[in-house]
Amino acid sequence: MLRKILNEMNSVEAMELLKSKIKSTASNAEFLMALNPDKA
């Protein structure tokens, strides 16, 4: 899932997305749900 999301972005956009999501989540599960809220 994460690879599919990041593959659609250039490397700078992908890193910025990861940084912002990691900072705003407390756990791995929360991080993954934040990237794909449809699966929550």
pLDDT in tens, 1-40: 788 888 999 999 999 988 998 999 999 989 888 877 676 5
Q: What is the pLDDT of residue 5?
A: 82
Q: What is the pLDDT of residue 3?
A: 86
- CA distances to 1, 3, 33 from 38, rounded to whole Å, are 12, 16, 8
Domain boundaries, the chain: 2-39
